[in-house]
Amino acid sequence: MNRTIVRVMWGFVAAFFVAVALAGAYELFWVMPEKRCLDAHHWWDSDKRVCATPIDLRTITRRPNRAPAAIGPDAGQP
């Protein structure tokens, strides 16, 4: 076999392995963190690539967890 053909063959093999490594790195460092965040029902910010935990306002203000009184014409009379 011609030496040039062998070199080209090894070049394509090397390019294939580099492409596979880049695709794996993209999946590992770009796609999986977003998927983990969304699976945990958190908020994903794609601009800053940050996973934020939603905090209920009642947690911050330490108010009791009560439902508001019914308002409107269909509200039942006690």
pLDDT level of residue 26 (50, 70, 90 thresholds)? very high
- Kindly report the average pLDDT of the chain as a whole number: 87
60: tokens are 């911050």
pTM over 0.85: no
Q: Within a 10 A sphere around the Cβ of 38, how many other Cβ atoms?
A: 12
Provide the β-strand partners of residue 6: none
Q: Does position 76 have pLDDT exceeding 70, yes or no?
A: no
Average pLDDT over residues 40-48: 92
Answer whether residue 50 shows pLDDT above 80.
Answer: yes
**What does the pLDDT read at residue 72?**
66
List the chain domain ranges. 3-61
Flag whether pLDDT at 65 surpasses 80: no
